[in-house]
Amino acid sequence: MSAEILIIDDNSDIREILNDLIIEAGYSTRLAANYNQALTEIDKKLPDVAIIDVKLDKGDNDGIELLNHIKNKNKNIPVIIISGHANIEMAVKSLKSGAFEFIQKPFDKNRLLNFIKRAIENLNLKIENEILENKIFHTFDLIGKSHNIISIKDQIEKVSESESRVFISGPTGSGKELISRKIYKKSKRRDKPFVILNGALLDSEKYELELLGEERKDGSISYGALEKASEGILLIDEVTDIPLDTQSKILRILIDQKFKRINGSHDIKVDVRIFSSTSKDIKKEIKDGNFREDLFHRLNVFNINIDPLSKRIEDIPLLVEYFLENICNNYNIKPFKLQDNNYLLNYSWPGNVRELRNLIERVTILSQGKDDNSVLNIIKESLSQSESEKFSISETLDYPLREARENFEKEYLVTQLKKFSGNISKTARFVGMERSALHRKLKLLGVKDFN
């Protein structure tokens, strides 16, 4: 099926020129002549690519508003901004707002068609990457026969059809997000957005911006998590890391069911089901004054607690078998079984299920063609490395944020390159980057040998 291009321009001649050019290139089109028509077309069905004139009939930058509207619905949709009154400031503003490309009128036809072609390739790559990521990370079942897992499965069934807020406690890597997604997929809101706001990863000064959004001085809007999750579910991960001032505002939002964007003048009604999770001891956080007790009671309508993997050893063999099957299928590797689980059963699993899953992926990739003793040696080596990695992670905390991020990116990309035997194209596709962008990033990080 050919890609569909939405053309938004208030000049009828330009619309027709674009329409003829794009149809001749083999794509289908839809047209909008003004801001309101454009909103109708966007809300009716998102296109594969949108071409938007920066200035329509509503204001000087209403094309940018439409760009923001599309990105709020689906950040992956490529938008090409065109303008007959272009300047550097406008181009920079468009690209900062998420435009795929900016082109000035009168435009070169071949250049525009090349932009469209690259935009579609970029969209397809992102879709493929999301499918792969969803297949690998988000479709895993909640596996186990321990009393804790059986109880959680029962709780998921009971709470899914309600509109109750859910508070999920458990150590890092134990499966809190997976539980949230299982509830979401069974809930009445399963066809609406599922948005994650991670308190641990945000700068305290930017938390309210990410949560509430902002009305900028130039008239453009940055949508926050509450609006992005409208009619769906918002998971506030590591909720105990939210600053106290922001906690007060969240409490008020839960009570009033409305909020204002930063610098906003009017109320926005809230229709979001909220899940919260934490890896910390919530009672201790409240006692120490780090978390508001009244907010906790509002969020903790239904509580689910998942134990660390070390307390549910009987789940490990089932998880190993399950991960092996899934990872072999995802990477087209010949299925096999681990003959000896004793070493896994005696390990403490500080990283919980996530650490186990990562280990199984490593073993699956490295053990092709090897005998059982070699596989066991890979497991022992990997788990012993985990102990030293805990030290290296604590060392990383002593670095400034920028340096720590660069160190992580370098290690992550080198690991992925090794996984794909130095193949840049396959690595770029897996990590969700364009090939040229990955080349630039590797050069910037000083990675020269890709093998």
Give pLDDT tens digits for 146-155: 999 999 999 9
Q: What is the DSSP string of 306-327?
A: ---GGG-GGGHHHHHHHHHHHH
For the record, the structure tokens of 339 come out as 């003959």
Q: Print burial letters for 312-334: b (CB count within 10 Å at least 16), e (below 16).
A: beebbeebbebbbebbeeeeeee
For the record, the structure tokens of 253 come out as 């939002």
Q: Which of 97-111, 177-191, 412-426 has the lowest mean pLDDT?
A: 412-426
CB count within 10 Å of CB 91 equals: 18
Residues near 124 by beta carbon (within 8 Å), at least 6 away in sequence: none
pLDDT, averaged across the chain: 85
Question: Which secondary structure element, helix H or strand E, spans residue 119, and what is its range?
Answer: helix 109-133
370 burial via Cβ count (<10 Å: 0-12, 13-18, 19+):
middle
Q: Does residue 297 carry a pLDDT above 70?
A: yes
Instruction: Please tell me what DSSP assigns to residue 274.
Output: E
Give pLDDT tens digits for 31-48: 999 999 999 999 888 899
- Are 238 and 196 in contact by the 8 Å Cβ rule? The answer is no
What's the rounded mean pLDDT across residues 3-10? 93
Residues near 405 by beta carbon (within 8 Å), at least 6 away in sequence: none
- Residue 135 to residue 122: CA distance in whole angstroms: 20
- Are 2 and 119 in contact by the 8 Å Cβ rule? The answer is no
Q: The whole model's pTM is what?
A: 0.60
For the record, the structure tokens of 111 come out as 């250049």
Question: Which secondary structure element, helix H or strand E, spans residue 259, and what is its range?
Answer: strand 258-259
- Residue 418 to residue 399: CA distance in whole angstroms: 26
- Within 136-292, where are the H helices? 147-160, 176-186, 207-212, 225-228, 244-256, 282-287
Give pLDDT tens digits for 316-355: 999 999 999 888 887 788 887 887 777 788 888 988 999 9
- Residue 296 to residue 240: CA distance in whole angstroms: 9
**Strand 4-8, strand 166-169: pairing:** unpaired
Q: Which of 176-185, 284-293, 372-381 has the lowest mean pLDDT?
A: 372-381
- Within 59-146, where are the H helices? 62-73, 88-96, 109-133
Residues near 244 by beta carbon (within 8 Å), at least 6 away in sequence: 290, 292
pLDDT value of residue 393:
46
Helix (H, G, I), strand (E, B) or coil at 118: helix
- Residue 7 to residue 33: CA distance in whole angstroms: 9
pLDDT value of residue 388:
40
Name which residue leads in pLDDT, 139 or 230: 230
Domains of the chain, first to last = 4-133 (3.40.50.2300), 144-307 (3.40.50.300), 311-444 (1.10.8.60)
Residue type, 258: K
For the record, the structure tokens of 395 come out as 């060392």
Q: Print burial letters for 387-418: b (CB count within 10 Å at least 16), e (below 16).
A: eeeeeeeeeeeeeeeeeeeeeeebeebbeebe
pLDDT value of residue 389:
46
Give pLDDT tens digits for 352-369: 999 999 899 888 888 777
